[in-house]
Amino acid sequence: MRGVKFCFDCWPGGPVTPPPCLRCGATTDYWTSGICARCHINGETGVDSCPDCHAWGTTRTHKWLCVGCTGYRRSNRDVGSCPSCNRRRHLGKWGVCRLCHKQGTLLTEALGTFDPTAASRLGHQLFLADLFTNRGQRPPARPPSSQAAERPDARAPLNQLVLFHAQRDLAAHGRTGLHERADPVLAAELDEHARATATALGWSKNQLTDTCFGIRIVLGIRDDDGPVKASNVELLRDIDLPVWTVLKVLAAAGLLEEDRLAALDSWVAQQLRNLPEPMTIELHTWFQVMKNGSPTPPRRRRRSDTTINLHLRWALPILREWATMGHTSLREISKEDVLLALPPSGNPRSTAGQGLKSIFRVLKERRVLFTDPTRRIKTGEHQSREPLPVDIDLLRTALNSDVPAQAAVTALIAFHGLHVRQLQRLHLTHIHDGRLHIDGRTVVLAKPVRERLARYLDERARRWPNTTNPHLFITRHTASRPDPASKRWIWLTLGPGLSAAAVREDRILDEAHATSGDVRRIADLFGLSIQAGTRYTTTVDHPDLTKADD
């Protein structure tokens, strides 16, 4: 109060209970002059809920009412008990308060008519204050009631938002009941997509049946009417239903949402799990730049997954050592720390140095670090391994194998030095007239290669007569899809003791000795660069190889 030198908490002999507010009668939050902070012109009012519609965000400007309720009171002077919510409020021409009127407006399309009482039966949807006004904008034209009734989503059921996501266990339910929850109209449309895809890719009858059944299950376990999440489709593995066929159909229909974590992302997260949080955040910044590139200066092209994997794998031992020593951030690392951590020489020094340079260079460019401690530190070049001949007995066994696929794969690598990725990309149309057309080169196939390819093609036609896969080498997994064979399948097909890289090196090494080190011929024959071809021609005059030739 005016003229009083003490507040009620510091009152002599107190504290004293403050008197009620002269305007609203509140007995708490006393401010000054007999008025509380909520009513005083200079008080800290904040925001509150509208007393009529409970919308959050109202202020004292309109006596704590939102703009909508202010106009509703001005237009409707009658006060009474609302038949929907039993509150005493201003009633409009429909005989309900503004909150129930707004609830009926929101559910008009779902119910097919404006019925505030029916719309408020299960509760009210609250909202933020003053978000329904379109200042300077014309409201969108609403379709007539007849058109709204004809819309397929006009009578769609309301969907409750998910409070939290729980891990589903389809194995606990088996295959019973879940498919019955699917929308029959949408399921029928997806069945048509499945039949068209099955015809194009040559699926079997059982494969088509399991695909349609799996589609109905994933439609039945959806939380809303949005696209189907790929992680939910992965759950079909628990009940022995195909996953990739369901993904194929949903993607073709535009109803697939890819939410699965990539293998590289999960691997990086696992490797960085035990590092300090600041260092983990910095390494994630490096990973995102390496994975996605940077379109803004300093620009940077995205790197392959193999490059990212190698750089992080080379640098991880040193990063973990720094974390053990107490370093929590890469900003703490100095040039002396890098020099002490690097191996003394050889490939370990060059690989670890390349991994650290990649990380620090990117972070310096993104202004995460002030300086690059690896700058001007020489780590040396990777020492190349001398190409060696392969075990001729193992190679001869693979070439004369009774398995047509093994003989064909081995012959293409041993006679013409193809890469694994080239074998994966080979199509049936790349081989004709006894020649192989690949990567802009035309290779005349050797007679042993043509014989083994002919035997493999006969076996391919016998096992998969209806396949539409255009690739030369297919498996039982890729026969019903347009995907190439995996690298792992080629490695296993070669047999134990042999690798595609070793067989290819043996072929190029043999050509280098047959041509007395003609690097140009090797480069043209196998699609190598001059520098890569020099790695093989330098072995021609090697003392050990010269003795072996003599």
Q: 353-405, pLDDT tens digit by residue? A: 999 999 999 999 999 999 999 998 998 888 777 788 888 899 999 999 999 99
Sorted by sequence, the CB contacts under 8 Å of residue 459 that are 6+ apart come out as 404, 405
Give the H/E segment covering residue 457: helix 447-463
Asked whether residue 444 falls in the same domain as residue 320, the answer is no
Q: Are 359 and 421 within one domain? A: no
Is the distance from CB of 55 to CB of 67 less than 8 angstroms? no
pLDDT band at 155 (very low <50, low <70, confident <90, very high): very low
Same domain, 83 and 69: yes
Same-domain status, 397 and 526: yes
User: Is the per-residue pLDDT at 187 higher than 80?
Assistant: yes
Q: For residues 299 and 212, state if they share a domain.
A: no
Same domain, 462 and 523: yes
Higher pLDDT, 481 or 41: 481
377 lies in some domain = no
Q: Are residues 281 and 409 in the same domain?
A: no
Q: Tens digit of pLDDT for each residue in 20-40?
A: 887 776 766 666 777 777 777
CB-CB contact of 430 with 496 (8 Å): no
The verdict on residue 14 lying in a domain is yes
Q: Check whether residue 273 and residue 356 sit in a common domain.
A: yes
Higher pLDDT among residues 272 and 6, named by residue:
272
Domain's final residue, options 257, 278, 297: 257
Contact yes or no for 443/419 (Cβ under 8 A): no
Question: For residue range 389-400, what is the model confidence (pLDDT) as tens digits?
Answer: 888 899 999 999
Asked if pLDDT for residue 486 goes beyond 50, the answer is yes
Question: Is 157 part of a structural domain of the chain?
Answer: no
Domain stops at, among 227, 257, 287: 257
The CATH number for 469's domain is: 1.10.443.10
Q: Is the pLDDT of residue 544 over 60?
A: no
158 domain-assigned: no
Query: Where residue 342 falls among pLDDT bands split at 50, 70, 90?
Result: very high
Question: What is the predicted pLDDT for the residue at 156?
Answer: 44
Is 165 a member of any domain?
Answer: no
Per the prediction, the chain carries an average pLDDT of 84
- What is the pLDDT at residue 309? 95
φ, ψ for residue 294, nearest 5 deg: -140, 110
Rounded-to-integer distance, Cα 520 and Cα 529, Å? 9
In terms of Cα–Cα distance, which of 386, 388, 387, 393 is closest to 497? 393
Distance CA 448, CA 500 (A): 18
- What is the distance between the alpha carbons of residues 326 and 373, in angstroms, rounded to a whole number? 18
pLDDT at 3 over 70: no
- Per-residue pLDDT band for 151 (boundaries 50, 70, 90) equals very low
Contacts of 50 (CB under 8 A, 6+ apart): 56, 58, 64, 65, 66, 69, 129
Residues 6+ apart with CB under 8 A from 144: none
State yes or no: pLDDT of 542 exceeds 80. Answer: no
pLDDT single digits (tens) 497-509: 888 888 988 888 8
What number is the average pLDDT over the span 522-533? 81
Residue 549: inside a domain: no
Structure confidence at residue 159 (pLDDT): 54
- So what's the pLDDT on residue 406? 93
Q: What is the pLDDT of residue 427?
A: 94
pLDDT at 547 over 60: no
pLDDT band at 145 (very low <50, low <70, confident <90, very high): very low
- Domain residues for the domain of 440 are 392-476+483-537
Q: How many CB atoms lie within 10 A of CB 529?
A: 9
pLDDT of residue 147: 44
Give residue 334's pLDDT band: very low, low, confident or very high (50, 70, 90): very high
Q: Is the pLDDT of residue 158 over 70?
A: no
Among the candidates 103, 119, 135, a domain finishes at 119
pLDDT at 153: 45
For residues 290 and 354, membership in a common domain is answered with yes
* Residue that has been written with the tokens 């939410």 in this structure: 259
Q: Are residues 250 and 269 in the same domain?
A: no
Least confident of 174-188, 229-243, 295-309, 459-473: 174-188
The pLDDT value recorded for residue 7 is 72
Q: Is residue 378 part of a domain?
A: no
Split at pLDDT 50, 70, 90, the class of 2 is: low
Q: Domain check: are 252 and 267 in the same one? A: no
Our count of domains for the chain comes to 5
Q: 84: closest CA among 71, 73, 95, 70? A: 95
Tell me the average pLDDT across 65-76: 90
Q: Where are the beta strands (DSSP E) in 177-282?
A: 228-229, 256-257
Would 3 be classed as within a structural domain? Answer: yes
pLDDT band at residue 154, thresholds of 50, 70 and 90? very low
Question: What is the arithmetic mean of pLDDT over 152-167?
Answer: 56
**What is the separation of C-alpha 225 from the centre of its chain, rounded to a whole number of angstroms?**
21
| Residue 228 β-bridge partners | 256
Q: Are residues 69 and 97 in the same domain?
A: yes
**Largest separation between any pair of C-alpha atoms in the chain:** 119
